[in-house]
Amino acid sequence: MEFAKPLPSYLVTRYHGWKATSYKDNQGWYRRLATEGQRPRAMVISCCDSRVHVTSIFGADQGEFFIHRNIANLVPPFAPDGDHHGTSAAVEYAVTALKVSHLIVLGHSQCGGVQGCIDMCKGNAPQLEEKTSFVGRWMEILRPKFDGVAGIEDPEQQARQFERQAVVASLENLMTFPFIESSVKAGQLSLHGLWTDIGEGGLECYDPKTGLFAPV
């Protein structure tokens, strides 16, 4: 594999800085995490977006959050067809092996994946419609929710609402997994839906009573 390159030097420098400070000051905890294994309290499903790091927003330290990040924080419906399902595998591991107590879906504003789905639904993104588009096929998970926001005229408002609906879709799909449904009913697991506004630093939580998101 001649294509593999050495790590860029600026990252080498930062790593050595981390090793000499954060690691060194917490060595006992790191070693315990290594020998005793992880015991995270929550799983977070968030977007790959470089502007939204749940570890920052929640001040997460080593061992607290089991984090799955994919395009648009989507969870596909339960489909045990023998294929590679990365998101379903992550959820299964968190709930059945690690037995997390909270499962948090975190959406965000200005989501490129959600915008791509809007473009697809409006017929403006033929390249995403192609069978070979991984992003397009992935965003199909969200397509059924478009009817609910199709009537919003302002593009900004429509996108912000659709981003929130991506969180709702994931929560609904999570409940189609038998092991999640049973854990929730047994009071061992609770689900939470969040949406954050990148520019203003806002955070909203899905309220099951109203079906709306409200600032926390």
Q: Which CB, 34 or 151, lies closer to its own copies?
A: 34
In the complex, the smallest distance separating the C-beta of residue 155 from its own copies, rounded to whole angstroms, is 15
For residue 181, give every residue at least 6 positions away whose Cβ sits within 8 Å of its Cβ, in sequence order, or none. 175
**CB closer to its own copies out of 16 and 122:** 16
Contacts (Cβ under 8 Å, ≥6 apart) of 60: 54
What does the longest C-alpha to C-alpha distance in the chain come to?
56
Which sign does the torsion angle of CA 85, 86, 91, 92 carry?
A: positive
Q: Which is nearer to its own copies, 152 or 205 (CB)?
A: 205
Q: Does the annotation place 47 within a ligand binding site?
A: yes
**108 is annotated as contributing to ligand binding:** yes
Tell me the closest approach of the beta carbon of residue 39 to its own copies, in angstroms: 6
Q: How far is the CB of 146 from its own copies (least distance, A)?
A: 17
Pairing of strands 102-108, 65-70: unpaired
Contact 75, 136 (CB under 8 A): no
> Binding site: which residues?
47, 49, 108, 111
> Binding site for Zn(2+): which residues?
47, 49, 108, 111
